Structure 1
Amino acid sequence: MTQYLLSMPHDSAEEPTMAMMDPAELEAAMAAAGTFIEELTASGALVFAGGLYPPSTAVTVDHTGDDLALADGPYTRAPEYLGGLWVIEAPDQDAAVSWAAKASKALGARIEVRAFQEVPA
């Protein structure tokens, strides 16, 4: 079965975190996410899920040359960034899109669907 990344974008200008959210809004969001994750788990589709801190907390590591270079912040700048994700297994893209639609409805957010590449036979 193919694995798919379901990702939830966030606005880079805002860089929201759970600690910044109104407690009631956070509780509602966590309940909606929890219900969705329970459904994924019960179906056997869930591989992994998680939320990421904003890009400003990133460290970019470059050891392509002789010296190790570290830079605070993301490697790329964009108007949006990956804030949350699910890795699922689905028989095809239509099934993955169906899961993304459920996540979008539950969380009130857009969800991107991308398949992981598989090594050619």
Structure 2
Amino acid sequence: MARYMLVLKYDEAVAMATPPDPAIFEEMGRFNTAMVDAGVLLAGEGLAPSSQGAVVTFPDSGGDGTTVSDGPFTEARELIGGFWILKVDSLDEAVSWARKAPFRAGERIEVRRVTEAEDFEGIAPESVLEQEKELRERAEQQHGG
């Protein structure tokens, strides 16, 4: 099994101009319930509008430091509106779940596999991989996972 992230992408300006039909919340509840019932949903959250966020930009090499820009992110054509993390057998299964999401025209779901430490074996130093494993175990214990 592998973990996949489903990332909802949308045009925030269009979404703000036409609020969602209240029925979408019931449809979303059914969609999330189906994933929980199937035992595939590990996490899922919606995100607040970009006006409530910030962007931290790192300097080019030799730069003086990071900059922070408050939202909204008007220059972005597409923003992330939410996400789910699923544990499924394949990309095809993750895509199958994404196809069932109750979204409006123009919204998209990007499906990406979440990397695991094994993906970096032979690339990252073994000490770093061991530290990553320990940190994941500690975080899981802290959050009751």
Supply the AA of the counterpart residue of 1:29: I
Are the equivalent residues in 1 in contact too, given 2:57–2:68 (CA < 8 A)?
A: yes
TM-score w.r.t. length of structure 2: 0.64
Paired residue for 2:10?
10
Alignment of structure 1 residues 1-121 onto 2, 5 Å: 1-14=1-14, 16=16, 21=19, 25-26=21-22, 28-61=23-56, 69-73=67-71, 77-103=75-101, 106-108=102-104, 109-120=107-118, 121=121
| Alpha-carbon separation, structure 1, partners of 2:74 and 2:4 | 23
After superposition, the Cα gap between the structure-2 partners of 1:99 and 1:3, relative to the gap in structure 1 and judged at 3 Å, is: same
Find the aligned partners of 2:83 and 2:49 in 1 and give their Cα distance: 13
Q: Give unmatched runs, 5+ long, in structure 1.
A: none
Q: What amino acid maps onto 1:102 in structure 2?
A: K
Higher mean C-alpha displacement, 53-62 vs 92-101: 53-62
Q: How many residues align?
A: 114
C-alpha contact 1:3 1:89 (8 A) present in aligned 2: yes
CA RMSD in angstroms, aligned pairs only: 2.8
SS of match in other structure, 1:111: strand
Amino acid at match of 2:89: P
CA positional deviation for 1:63: 8.5
Q: Identity, % of aligned pairs?
A: 35
**Residue-by-residue CA offset, 1:52-111 (whole Å, 9 max, x unaligned):** 1122321234688997754312789421111121111111101101101111xx334432
Greater strand content: 1
Is this contact kept in 1: 2:6–2:110, CA < 8 A? yes
2:52 & 2:15 partners in 1: Cα distance?
10
Matched residue of 2:100: which SS? helix
CA distance change for structure 1 residues 81 and 38 in 2, over 3 Å: closer, same or farther?
A: same
Change in CA separation of 1:75 and 1:21 when aligned onto 2, cut-off 3 Å: closer
Which 10-residue stretch deviates more, 31-40 or 46-55?
Answer: 46-55
Q: CA deviation at 1:36?
A: 0.5
